[in-house]
Structure 1
Amino acid sequence: MDIRWLEDFLALVEMRNFTRAAEFRNVSQAAFSRRIQSLEHWVGTALIVKGAVPVRLTDAGEDFRAEAAASVERLLGARAKIRSSQFALMSQVRIATPNCLARSDFKRVLKMLKGRVKCSFSVIVGNTQDVTARYMAGDADILLCHDNPALPSPIHTDAQERLVVRRDRFLPYAVLNRHKREAFGFPGTEKAPFPLIAYSHKAYFMRLFEHVLERAPVDPAYRISVQCDMSDVLKEIIMEGHGVGWLPVSAVDDAAARVIGPIGGPEWALDVEICAYRPIRKLAPEVEALWAALKEEIRNGH
């Protein structure tokens, strides 16, 4: 039995969708389905109701869910304990965070904690999906990421403690040049769609964008001009005047704010949170001290 099968099963339980769960686990849907089938074969019965949309568990699946979560938690905890006893490097606090927050809020957290804790950091950086997966696999002690509770994620479990570091906002940006803005014609028409600087389909911010469209009072008309999964790359393209794209406010530094600004009304914006996550189980003293200091700083409004 492969622990990845349990992690796949738990991801599917949380996301209730094979496609999204496979994307989160960074495997093809076909491979993901085979791994779920392998787990069912190992257990000896069906865990998923065939053909149900959204995904539903069988009675056996419901019974197995808690055991699977507990098993993964125990195994990851055992691995972390063994690693910490064998490698001095593990005395570092390992923080996983997406690229955009590594450039903004990780520095903010360091400033908040300056002089409060004595430890070194190992920072895991990537896109939101990858760093979340690595955190869930036990490769990091703390995850710092954007979050919107309306979007299902394997991170939304009782096994995780969630701390809101600060509020952020996700909204469309375009160059401040008036003539270019008017030429974009946001939010577009069927005959004249606006050029969209878009995230790739697997990106977390693409899911936020889709959620914005679901809540919007009208359907925008757009054509994708450029597509990428990194907000920093999209920001540069927006600054060059190639179209309209959604960015978190935290990704727009002072230099960018002199070139680009929000476009459209509040109906195109989405409130999000920048959150820190840690497992509920007891962690290394350095991690516990950092977490306690971070909670106190946030409680004091810093």
Structure 2
Amino acid sequence: MDIRWLEDFLALVELRNFTRAAEFRNVSQTSFSRHMQALEQWVGAPLVVKGASPVRLTEAGEQFRESAQIAVERLLESRSSIRASQFDAMSQVRIAMPSVLARSEFKHILDAFGQRNRSSFSVIVGTTSDVVARYLAGDADILFAHDCTAIPVHAALADHQRLVLQKDVFQPYAASDPVRRKAISFPGTTQKPSPLVAYSQRVYFARLFEYVQERVQTPLPHKVRVQCDMSDVLKEVIADGYGVGWLPASAVDRSTHPGICPIGGPEWRLDLDICAFRPRQTLSPRLESIWEKITARAARNCAC
């Protein structure tokens, strides 16, 4: 039995869709399906209702769900604890953060530690889904990521310590050039849908966009013109007038990127937190000291 089968099963339980779960786990759908079949053979009973959309668990699947969650958490916590106990022999603090935060926040995070800090840092960068998965797998000591109380970035992070560093907002942007902007209708109509610059389905911000659509009573007729994982790419495409796209405000520096500006009313915006996560168990003295510095920075931000 492979722990990855359990992690795949839990991803499927959370996302309720084979395609999205496979994308989240960064495997092909064929491999993902094989893992589910192998797990069901190991358990000795079907875990999901065949053909159900969204995915539904069988009675055996519901029974197995809690055991799988506990098993994965204990195994990962055990590995994390063993690695943490060896940390004093290591020189690096392992940080995971999505690229959208690495560009805007990493320097500020380093500044919080101070130049006299003797630690060196190893940084894992990628999409939010990727870095969260790497952190939960024990490849990083501290995770920095956007998080929303309405749509948590990952259910498993509820068991980890969460620290809000600062507030952010997820909102729609369009080209600031009047000519390009005039060609864009927002929120659009059935006859003239809004051109949309969108995130790929596996990206956390795609889930936030879906939540905004569900929350707003006004329909959003749209047609996807460009789809991509990376916010930086979407910014450039939005500035070129390809359509409307949602971005975290922290990712948009108007002084260096004046080509886009917010569009739409407050109903299209969603409050976000920029958070730091860590395991709840006691870490090495060096990591505990670094967490104290992160906490102090968060307190200063809240006081401003």
TM above 0.5: yes
Displacement of 1:18 in angstroms is: 3.6
State yes or no: 1:220 paired with 2:224: no
Aligned to 1:245: 245
The residue type paired with residue 79 of structure 2 is R
Displacement of 1:81 in angstroms is: 5.1
Displacement of 1:232 in angstroms is: 0.4
* Residues 72-221 of structure 1 mapped to structure 2, 5 A cutoff: 72-80=72-80, 83=83, 90-114=90-114, 117-151=117-151, 153-221=153-221
- State the SS of the aligned residue for 2:39: helix
* Residues 23-102 of structure 1 mapped to structure 2, 5 A cutoff: 23-48=23-48, 55=55, 57=57, 60-62=60-62, 64-80=64-80, 83=83, 90-102=90-102
Displacement of 1:247 in angstroms is: 0.9
Tell me the distance in 1 between the aligned counterparts of 2:222 and 2:53: 29
Aligned to 2:8: 8
Residues 187, 220 of structure 1: 8 Å contact kept: yes
Tell me the distance in 2 between the aligned counterparts of 1:233 and 1:2: 36
Query: Which residues of structure 1 form unaligned runs of 5+?
Result: none
Displacement of 1:111 in angstroms is: 2.0
Aligned to 1:233: 233
Aligned to 2:276: 276
Q: 1:64 to 1:289 in 2, by over 3 A?
A: farther
Tell me the distance in 1 between the aligned counterparts of 2:65 and 2:166: 32
Residues 145, 274 of structure 2: 8 Å contact kept: yes
The residue type paired with residue 244 of structure 2 is V
Residues 165, 297 of structure 2: 8 Å contact kept: no
Q: 1:110 to 1:155 in 2, by over 3 A?
A: farther
Residues 161, 277 of structure 2: 8 Å contact kept: yes
Displacement of 1:49 in angstroms is: 5.3
- Of residues 123-132 and 280-289 in structure 1, the stretch that sits farther from structure 2 once superposed is 280-289
The residue type paired with residue 299 of structure 2 is R
- Of residues 12-21 and 81-90 in structure 1, the stretch that sits farther from structure 2 once superposed is 81-90
Query: Which residues of structure 2 form unaligned runs of 5+?
Result: none
| 1:207-266 Cα distance to aligned partner (Å, 9 max, x none) | 221221112222223222222110001111222233221111011013345332101111
Q: 1:50 to 1:289 in 2, by over 3 A?
A: farther
Q: 1:284 to 1:27 in 2, by over 3 A?
A: same
The residue type paired with residue 11 of structure 2 is A
Q: 1:223 to 1:67 in 2, by over 3 A?
A: closer
- State the SS of the aligned residue for 2:183: helix
Tell me the distance in 2 between the aligned counterparts of 1:59 and 1:206: 31
- State the SS of the aligned residue for 1:167: strand
| 1:178-211 Cα distance to aligned partner (Å, 9 max, x none) | 2322221222222222322222222222222122
Tell me the distance in 2 between the aligned counterparts of 1:24 and 1:258: 33
Count of matched residue pairs: 302
CA RMSD of aligned residues (A): 2.8
Q: 1:61 to 1:197 in 2, by over 3 A?
A: closer
The residue type paired with residue 184 of structure 1 is I
Tell me the distance in 1 between the aligned counterparts of 2:47 and 2:216: 37
Using the aligned pairs only, state the percent identity: 58
TM-score (norm 1): 0.86
The residue type paired with residue 195 of structure 2 is P
| 1:23-50 Cα distance to aligned partner (Å, 9 max, x none) | 2112234432332332232233444455
Tell me the distance in 2 between the aligned counterparts of 1:295 and 1:176: 37
Tell me the distance in 1 between the aligned counterparts of 2:70 and 2:205: 30
Residues 162, 275 of structure 1: 8 Å contact kept: yes
The residue type paired with residue 142 of structure 1 is I
- State the SS of the aligned residue for 2:272: strand
Q: 1:48 to 1:116 in 2, by over 3 A?
A: farther
TM-score (norm 2): 0.86
Displacement of 1:146 in angstroms is: 1.2
Q: 1:229 to 1:168 in 2, by over 3 A?
A: same
- State the SS of the aligned residue for 2:293: helix
The residue type paired with residue 226 of structure 2 is V
